[in-house]
Chains A and B, each alone.
Chain A
Amino acid sequence: MNTDAALLTLAEAVAAVRKREISARALTEACLARIERLQPVLNCFIRIDADRALAAADAADQATARGEALGPLHGVPLAHKDMFYRAGTVATCGSKIRSDFVPGHTATVLERLDAAGAISLGMLNMAEFAVGPTGHNTHWGDCRNAWNPAHIAGGSSSGSGAATAARLCFGALGSDTGGSIRTPAAVNGLFGLKPTTGRVSRHGAMGLSFTLDTVGPLARTAEDCALLFSIIAGADPKDPTSAQSKPVTLPPRLDGDIAGLRIGVPRRPPALDPEIEAKRVESLAVLEGLGARLVELDVPEDGILADLGNLVMGVEAATLHLQWLRERPEDYQPQVLGRLLPGLSYPGVAYLEALQARPHYLTQFTTAVLDQCDALHWPVLPMKVPTRAATDIGAGDGMQDMIRRLSAFTRPLNYLGLPGLAMPVGFDEDGMPVSFQLIGRPFDELTLLRIGHAVDQATGISRRTPPV
């Protein structure tokens, strides 16, 4: 089996099917061949739907042969975190508790991808109930990093990150409540977009935190991210919390020219591992070389935004899980239980203070940062990609500190509701990806994707393929 077709980007695969240079079946078989080889190594999938995917591919090829109008993802295989519901199909949410849960409705984001002609290869591994930044999962097995299986795949959208990076699918959906798209994207060398709160429907997506959850794409290029985002974004009458924003209209090509755009750079850079700091400087030089203007500014972030995000998520997640916390605590893995239980202790007044303060902090951040620049250049992780062993610390004393360090630069964005794009910028001395995020104004995801695309075009970073 020639699996080279799986190495195409999503946009290239779409174009190849449209021009009849490759069939949907050939694309699907190429992905399935890689899945067969790499699933035992990476454990990206919770369920592989090979027969269903091949049948869908054949139907797509027949539609092509009949000359039917083709959707923007016609015949291209994707896979998604196992928390997006499809009526009549098990959605485990990475848990034991929902290991046989069959939803009665389909997520709006899946309906939109279906309507665009995408094929689903199966459902991807994730942290139990989307709680956890590392990809450890005692119920379904740990998902492993596509660049080195000894390292974490990130979380909670662990399978979405590892599968897309390992070329097992052309892109994936994830969810992000405190960094769960951006972290797995970053540690697997992908682009991962956490959209503005409300931008993408959450109908039919497992909830973790009513006010912080977002749904977005992980893909190998910014262009691919933009394509997926343009299809899933937009108001949804089935999700009363979705913003009444217009659908995203992509320009014919993501403009590669970012000359004149202002990139915000913290006047006092956050403390980073020396190798990460060196990549930060390199990344800024690339942006400057593309004509962007670096603007130094003071970022009003002293850790409180992450604490407020934790407070809000804690209460909302505990609310969603209370019945199972009472009746089935032994069915959670210890670290997830240890993260859910504290939410029961937070007073209602403190929770509402955190919510009441949210517009204030958003205005403060927008004024100090986003009124001065088009995007803020900001870390995803302060350290190199950790190993699975180093982060496999259960629910002991160090657990909260480890979670705090891994999500210190991602969680504030969920509290602020702003969009963020994880963007690969290079590799460390161990060959593991290094990424930074671009933070933008509300509903201005396309500017972030434009910048990411320009950087990718200049560096060719998305062309590097994991050695697995």
Chain B
Amino acid sequence: MTQLDEKQIGDLVGAVHSVELTPAQAANAARMLMAALAAAEAARLVCGGSFFDTEPANFIPALARGALR
């Protein structure tokens, strides 16, 4: 798979959202993107690898259930 460098990620984000990123902002965004992707991947794996059979997340009822434990 092609690896994008920080500048390419910055350019992509800038083009998609019509914003301008400096090289430093692009580098920061790229680092944060990697951390976010890793966290989301880990969350999916912890939840069984797929959300296909899960109910849509509705958090307040989940809290209410937690309160009733």
Contacts and interface: CB of A to CB of B under 8 A. Distances in A.
A322 B19 CA distance: 9
Interface string B14-55: 001111110011001111110111111111101100010010
A354 B69 contact: no
Contact of A355 (B12, B13, B57): B57
A58 interface: no
A333 interface: no
A419 to B, nearest CB: 10
Contacts of A441: 66-67, 69
B69 A370 contact: yes
A32 to B, nearest CB: 41
Given A311-B36, A350-B40, A366-B66, A197 B59 contact: yes
Contact of A363 (B29, B39, B66): B66
Contacts of A360: 43, 46-47
Contacts of B20: 329
Contacts of B40: 308, 311, 349-351, 353-354
Interface string A409-449: 00000000110000000000000000000000111100000
A211 B19 contact: no
Interface residues on A, range: 35 or more
Contact of B31 (A243, A329, A366, A400): A400
A350 B17 contact: no
Contacts, number: 146
A310 B67 CA distance: 25
A359 B43 contact: no
A363 B57 CA distance: 13
Given A243-B64, A350-B40, A362-B66, A326 B18 contact: yes
B62 A358 contact: yes
A468 interface: no
Interface string A355-371: 11111111100100011
Interface-centre pick from B17, B20, B66 (highest chain A CB count, 10 A) = B66
Contact of B17 (A325, A347, A443): A325
B1 interface: no
A354 B66 contact: no
Contact of A417 (B16, B28, B63): B63
Contacts of A355: 57, 59
A442 B67 contact: yes
Contact of B28 (A198, A354, A395): A395
A344 interface: yes
A274 interface: no
A357 B42 CA distance: 10
Interface residues of B, number: 41
A337 B51 CA distance: 33
A132 interface: no
A408 to B, nearest CB: 13
B29 A345 contact: yes
Interface string A367-378: 000110000000
Contacts of B36: 307, 310-311, 314, 342, 345-346, 350
Given A304-B43, A329-B20, A395-B24, A342 B32 contact: yes
A160 B64 CA distance: 30
Contacts of A361: 43, 46
A399 B13 CA distance: 20
A396 B32 contact: no
B46 to A, nearest CB: 7
A316 B64 CA distance: 24
A326 B17 contact: yes
A197 B60 contact: yes
A362 B62 contact: yes
Given A338-B28, A342-B32, A307 B38 contact: yes
B66 A197 contact: no
A241 interface: yes
Given A329-B19, A342-B36, A361-B46, 9 more contacts: A308-B43, A325-B19, A341-B19, A345-B36, A350-B36, A354-B43, A359-B59, A360-B43, A441-B67
25 contacts: A197-B59, A197-B63, A243-B60, A307-B38, A310-B35, A311-B39, A311-B40, A314-B32, A322-B19, A338-B28, A341-B21, A345-B9, A345-B12, A346-B33, A353-B51, A354-B39, A356-B54, A357-B46, A357-B57, A358-B59, A360-B43, A360-B46, A399-B28, A441-B67, A442-B64
